[in-house]
Amino acid sequence: VTDAATTGRGTGVNGDTKTLNTYFSNGTYYLYDTTKPMSGGVIQTATAQNRSTLPGVYSTDADNAWTASNQRADVDAHYYAGVVYDYYYNTHNRNSYDNRGASITSTVHYQTNYNNAFWNGSQMVYGDGDGTTFAPLSGALDVVAHEITHAVTERTAGLQYQNQSGALNESMSDVFGYFLDPNDWLLGEDVYTPKVSGDGLRSLSNPESYGQPSTMSNYVNTTSDNGGVHINSGIPNKAAYYTISSIGKAQAEKIYYRALTTYLTPTSNFSNAKSALLQAASDLYGSNSSTYNAVKSAWDRVGVN
C-alpha cells in the first residue's frame, strides 16, 4: 500500500547533484522511473556488483539520497537514460528505442575495471573503467546516448555491424551522442582519461586526432574491429561535422533521424548514407534548399560519391 513513485537526489560520477525519478516499495527506494509516457514501460537501473551476470540486481537506497561513492555510476546511468528518452520523445516523437515504450534497463558496475559500455540487444551495460583510461562510463551523457542509439538503430535501419554499414552504425551513435551533448565535438570526454583534461575517445571535428580517417582516400581496410567500424566511422563523422557546422543542430538532427528511420537499410554503405541524408533533407527542406546543398557538400568533402 505504500508503493509510490518518488523523487530522490543523487551524486553523479563527476560529483554533480541531480534529481532522480525513483520508486518506493517495501521500505526501500529503487532507481525505477515510472513517470514517462511509456504505456507500462519504465526506466530502471541495476548493478552487476562487479560480476558478469545481467541484468544483476536492482540498485537500492535506504533514504533516497543516492550519495555514496559506489552509487555514482548508478545515478548517472539512470539520470542520463531519462535524458536520452526525453530527447527522442520530445525532439523526434519516438517513444523509447522501439517506439512502443519499451523499458530501458541499464546495468552498471559490470565486471571489474571494465573500460567499455555496450548495448547487448536487450539492455545497456557499463563498466567502471580502470580509473586511468576511463571513469565509470555512465558518467558521460554522450556515451549513454551513443549506446541507446545502438538500440534505436537496431530497431530501425538495422545497419549490419561490419564494414561500411557498421561504421555508419557507429557514426549514427556518435552523431546522436553529439545531438544530446552539443557542447563540444568530442565523444566521451566526461569519462575518458579522468586524469587528463581536454581529450576524448573520438572527435567529430578532427577524427585524425584519435587515429581515425576523415576522407575516403584514407579508408582503412581491415578485418579487425568488425572491419574497422570504430575506425572508418571517422569519415561519416566528419561529414556530420561539416553538415552540423553549416546548417545547425536543429535541422541536422531532423535529417539524421529521418534518414536513420526511413531510408537507411541493413546493408547501406557510405554512398547510400549520402543518398539517404539527401533524400531526408529534400523531404524536410526541399531539394533546392541551402540545407540540401550543405549536406551534399559535406559528403563531397569527405570523398563519398
Q: How far is the CB of 173 from Ca ion (least distance, A)?
A: 13
Q: Convert residues 91-130 into a mask of x (bound to ligand ASN by CB under 6 A) and - (unbound).
A: -------------------------xxx------------
Q: Partners of 172 in the beta sheet?
A: none
**Is the CB of residue 185 less than 8 Å from the CB of residue 208?**
no
205 three-state secondary structure: coil
Please report whether residue 147 would count as binding ligand ASN according to CB under 6 A.
yes
Kindly indicate which of the ranges 146-154, 206-214, 268-276, 291-299 contains the residues binding ligand ASN, using the contact rule CB under 6 A: 146-154
DSSP 8-class letter at 13: T
42 vs 143, beta carbon nearer ligand ASN: 143
The residue type found at 213 is: P
Q: How far is the CB of 178 from ligand ASN (least distance, A)?
A: 15
Closest residue to Zn ion: CB criterion: 173
Separation of alpha carbons 146 and 91, rounded Å = 16
74 three-state secondary structure: helix
Q: Where are the beta strands (DSSP E) in 141-271?
A: 186-187, 202-203
Closest residue to ligand ASN: CB criterion: 118
170 vs 190, beta carbon nearer ligand ASN: 170
Please report whether residue 142 would count as binding ligand ASN according to CB under 6 A.
no
Inter-CA distances, 49 with 52, 84, 110, 119, 135, Å: 8, 25, 7, 18, 16
Residues that bind Zn ion (CB under 5 A): 173
Q: How far is the CB of 89 from Zn ion (least distance, A)?
A: 22
Concerning whether 146 is annotated as a catalytic residue, the answer is no
Residues in 172-211 that interact with Ca ion by CB under 5 A: 181, 184, 186
Concerning whether 78 is annotated as a catalytic residue, the answer is no
Kindly indicate which of the ranges 30-38, 142-150, 256-264, 274-282 contains the residues binding ligand ASN, using the contact rule CB under 6 A: 142-150
DSSP element (H, E) containing 21? strand 17-25
Q: Per the residue annotation, which of 92, 109, 230, 253 is the catalytic one?
A: 230
213 three-state secondary structure: coil
Give the rounded distance of the alpha carbon of 215 from its chain centre. Answer: 24
16 three-state secondary structure: coil
> Footprint of Ca ion on this chain (CB under 5 A)?
142, 181, 184, 186
- Name the residues that contact ligand ASN, by CB under 6 A: 116-118, 146-147, 150, 170
